[in-house]
Structure 1
Amino acid sequence: MIENYNHFLLVCGFAFLLGGFAPYFLKRLPLSLPMLQVILGLTIGYLWTSFPFLSPIDNGTFVEKLCELVVLVSLVGAGIKLDTPLKYQRWRPTIRLLLITMPLCIVAMAALGHYIFSLSLGAALLLGAVLAPTDPVLASSVQVGPPNGEGEDLPRFSLTSEAGLNDGLAFPFVYLAIKIAEQFTTTDKITSNLLLDWFTMDVVWRIAAGLVIGVAVGKIIGRIVFSNRTKETALSQGYVIIAITLLAYGLAEFIHGYGFIAVFVAAFAFRRTQHRHDYHEELHDFAEQSEGLLMSLVLVIFGMALGQGLSSGVELTWQVYAVSLIILLLVRPLAGWIGLAGLNLPHKERFTIASLGIRGIGTFYYLAYALNKGVFDPTEASDLWIICSIVVIGSIFIHGVTAPLLMKLSTGTK
């Protein structure tokens, strides 16, 4: 990427300009900002043939780190804006989505990958793991509003809290896919030692470490910021929000915990300290604007990569389109409906929560992270990028159109 630095800056300019003028366009068009950004990228990538080819496989490390940064900023923003305290009754839908819906989605998507695209067990499991989480970046349009707003309806709260936690909770399955792919380079058997090591380290330890670090960082920084000796309103919200993000993530990763879980939990724990204070609104505004800038860049680059692929003749079979629609319109809604069973939710709210499993930038991060390990077959790696890209662009357009309608339906607003 360094040799194309000036081109990269030019793309940044296009992305940020569109983000700045988005309110003007969105008042006149039935489109969302992510849809506009992808369309811009597609147009540039398809027509600007002299631009360097943006292969996600050849630029795997860049894709991983850029998407990781976007997700981190989105997670801290999601944790800061939750008004609802940690009460079991209120969090029950979220728990169901994490413990029932997400595993069901992973199994169903892995089966589709294995039986329709003939992916190996490890690659099929990876497909399910990277597509299962609700994206905290692109799902911002259906999340709760700024801190201390007019209240949080159940659909928005459930989708926000799910997106904040399931990016970290999908990681165990990504690690399992990597371990299986490594194991299958020498034998076709999944050993008990592999499963035991995965469960104790990648499930129990990493999740627990992420939770503990998140609570500790959020509480400690919260007490410092809101102490009697600190005039918290004079503290730069930029420094504070970045400190929460990087300290939680860095410490969790240092002890081999899940940094994504730590960041969301740290932001939530920080919010519970003086949770009515206006300072949280300032933090949220900074995080939201930073997220918007980074999201604009990623989506325009994503659109450019798709446009270049189309102009170069990348083959997209009907199976790719069919499976993408099945994942978006059948697998997630059905798994969500099953996961929320027995909670006595109104049917409109239950259907809205189940249907709006938006896929996005988190998928690209997980996929790049796993493929950068170098244990997956190159042909399968290419297939995975194609499938995931079509699912994500399908989610951007399908959910971009349906999300406002479903939110109005569930809340009864006009």
Structure 2
Amino acid sequence: MPETFDASAVVILVLGALVLLSAWLPLVVRRLPLSLPIVAVGIGVVAPHGPWIDRASAFLLQERVLEQAVEFIILVALMGAGLRVERPFGWRRWQATWRLLGIAMPLTIATMAALCWAALGLPWAAALLVAAALAPTDPVLACDVQAGPPGEEEGGEVRFALTSEAGLNDGLAFPFVVLAMTLAATPLESAWVHWLAGDVIWRIGCGALIGYAAGRVFGWLTFRLPRLKLSRTGDGLVAVGVTLISFGVTELAAGYGFVAVFIAAVTLRATDRSSDFHGAMAEFSEQIERVLMVVVLLVFGAAVGTGALARLEWRDVLVGAALLLVIRPLCGWVSLIGTKLPRAARGLMAFFGIRGLGTFYYMAYALGRAEFPDAGRLWAITSFAVLGSIVMHGIASTPLMAWADRRRRAAARPTRSGHSERRRA
């Protein structure tokens, strides 16, 4: 028996348990109205807390540490989401996606910011930060409603739209987070031109262009390079390399790396859609994402269990519930008016605005770089909304998406006249 307590051995033991949990739990919850994030948060809430757990949680919950950890998880998730996208870019083919990004997300931000200002009494900068951080559909926690892995059935318009929306809106919400940081320091009148030209037009355009170029270059290296093409390695680790290089180059050019990574992944997939190597890269990305997500959500659950939501007021709870139950569904529905999508498909796209790790990233990013009054309350408001989304959408995703898949397959069956219906849920 060792005479002293070996903390490193405990850390290794816990990490091993987390890896096994991330592999095993999806089998347990596959047919239940639960999700892996719900289980991970629940374990974190009820798990006994000791000094070493508290120290580990305190370390991970530091704003810069949390920012870097969640940033990496999101990047890996964006690569996996991009590799799942089968259809080429196009205005008509991606119509639902463009509407969710260009109409639903700005409407959600504007409505949520106004509500936070009017009902919660937050300053405009803080209200905009909360709204922008809660606006994106999360690519990490939305895995249960996303398109199928490469080589499998896409899953219909609902899964495609939610996958592509989650892949792009993290980066497209960034300008609004930056605007909130700007408002916290200077009046908008003296900064809006720089914000519009630099943080919106340049950084989004730069991310899109570099992402496309990176996808083309890595597509050639992976599938076209004679003799030494990367696909011959069969190693899914290639996906991580593509992710980090695309992100790093874009950030050095002052662009939005989240946008670049997703577009690079979609462009890479388009180079050779039939290759089995896409599946290997997507699977490896998903495994890394799942393990790291479980770690972060366990810590989040531990924080919830030790008073992270203590600052909440009843009005904060109502506003968070309004976002999940009214604002996002209504804005999503409005954005899809005029499309030929069935009502059921529009309803599911509007409802599944899943909030998650992207919110943590934006809050840590902004609060670590700008001064916002009462940051603890802002964390409590956003954490409650994320927790509510994890529970509500996690319970609903399995039965609702199974219903949508059955409806879509039934609509695709040939009719008596020999033709198949074109309606897709």
TM-score (normalizing by structure 2):
0.89
CA shift in 2, pair 1:199/1:412, >3 Å: same
CA shift in 2, pair 1:74/1:55, >3 Å: same
CA shift in 2, pair 1:195/1:140, >3 Å: same
- For the residue of structure 1 that corresponds to 2:92, the secondary structure is helix
Give the C-alpha shift of residue 150 in structure 1.
2.0
**Alpha-carbon distance in 2 for matches of 1:330, 1:144:** 25
Aligned to 2:268: 270
Aligned to 2:83: 80
Instruction: State, as a whole percentage, how many aligned pairs show the same letter.
Output: 43
Residue 361 (structure 2) pairs with residue 360 (structure 1): no
**Alpha-carbon distance in 2 for matches of 1:172, 1:126:** 11
Q: In structure 1, give the amino acid aligned to 2:129.
A: L
- For the residue of structure 1 that corresponds to 2:339, the secondary structure is coil
Match of 1:374 among 361, 370, 382: 370
**Alpha-carbon distance in 1 for matches of 2:159, 2:283:** 18
Q: In structure 2, give the amino acid aligned to 1:304.
A: A
**Alpha-carbon distance in 2 for matches of 1:11, 1:318:** 36
CA shift in 2, pair 1:278/1:27, >3 Å: closer
Match of 2:146 among 133, 137, 143: 143
**Alpha-carbon distance in 2 for matches of 1:101, 1:393:** 22
**Alpha-carbon distance in 1 for matches of 2:120, 2:8:** 37
Give the C-alpha shift of residue 5 in structure 1.
6.9
Q: Is the 1:16–1:297 Cα contact (8 Å) retained in structure 2?
A: no
**Alpha-carbon distance in 1 for matches of 2:81, 2:60:** 30
Q: Is the 2:312–2:377 Cα contact (8 Å) retained in structure 1?
A: no
Q: Which runs of 5+ in 1 are unaligned?
A: 184-188
Q: Is the 1:129–1:173 Cα contact (8 Å) retained in structure 2?
A: yes
CA shift in 2, pair 1:350/1:30, >3 Å: closer
Match of 1:386 among 380, 388, 400: 380
Residue 91 (structure 2) pairs with residue 93 (structure 1): no
- For the residue of structure 2 that corresponds to 1:357, the secondary structure is coil
Q: Which runs of 5+ in 2 are unaligned?
A: 1-6, 410-425
Match of 2:292 among 291, 294, 308: 294
Deviations 1:335-371 (A, max 9, x none): 0000011012100000000100000001100110000
Q: In structure 2, give the amino acid aligned to 1:240.
A: V
Residue 65 (structure 2) pairs with residue 67 (structure 1): no
**Alpha-carbon distance in 2 for matches of 1:115, 1:140:** 34
Aligned to 1:122: 125
CA shift in 2, pair 1:388/1:291, >3 Å: same
**Alpha-carbon distance in 2 for matches of 1:309, 1:410:** 38
- For the residue of structure 1 that corresponds to 2:127, the secondary structure is helix
Aligned to 2:402: 408
CA shift in 2, pair 1:99/1:203, >3 Å: same
**Alpha-carbon distance in 2 for matches of 1:60, 1:258:** 20
Give the C-alpha shift of residue 269 in structure 1.
0.7
Q: In structure 2, give the amino acid aligned to 1:203.
A: V
**Alpha-carbon distance in 1 for matches of 2:404, 2:162:** 13
Give the C-alpha shift of residue 239 in structure 1.
3.7
Moved more, 143-152 or 217-226: 143-152
Give the C-alpha shift of residue 43 in structure 1.
1.1
Aligned to 2:163: 160
Aligned to 1:186: none
**Alpha-carbon distance in 2 for matches of 1:59, 1:280:** 35
Match of 1:214 among 193, 197, 211: 211
Q: Is the 1:57–1:382 Cα contact (8 Å) retained in structure 2?
A: no
Aligned to 2:413: none
Matching of residues 145-294 of structure 1 within 5 Å:
145-183=148-186, 189-191=187-189, 193-227=190-224, 228-294=226-292
**Alpha-carbon distance in 2 for matches of 1:98, 1:24:** 33
Give the C-alpha shift of residue 242 in structure 1.
1.6
**Alpha-carbon distance in 1 for matches of 2:231, 2:247:** 25
- For the residue of structure 1 that corresponds to 2:160, the secondary structure is helix
**Alpha-carbon distance in 1 for matches of 2:270, 2:345:** 26
Give the C-alpha shift of residue 73 in structure 1.
0.3
Give the C-alpha shift of residue 240 in structure 1.
1.6
CA shift in 2, pair 1:309/1:272, >3 Å: same
Q: Is the 2:133–2:359 Cα contact (8 Å) retained in structure 1?
A: yes
Deviations 1:94-117 (A, max 9, x none): 000001000011011111211222
Match of 2:328 among 312, 319, 332: 332
**Alpha-carbon distance in 1 for matches of 2:395, 2:17:** 24
- For the residue of structure 2 that corresponds to 1:138, the secondary structure is coil
CA shift in 2, pair 1:67/1:8, >3 Å: farther
CA-atom RMSD in angstroms: 2.0
CA shift in 2, pair 1:8/1:285, >3 Å: same
**Alpha-carbon distance in 1 for matches of 2:258, 2:61:** 25
**Alpha-carbon distance in 2 for matches of 1:168, 1:56:** 26
Q: In structure 1, give the amino acid aligned to 2:354.
A: I
Give the C-alpha shift of residue 314 in structure 1.
2.2
Aligned to 1:48: 49
Give the C-alpha shift of residue 149 in structure 1.
1.3
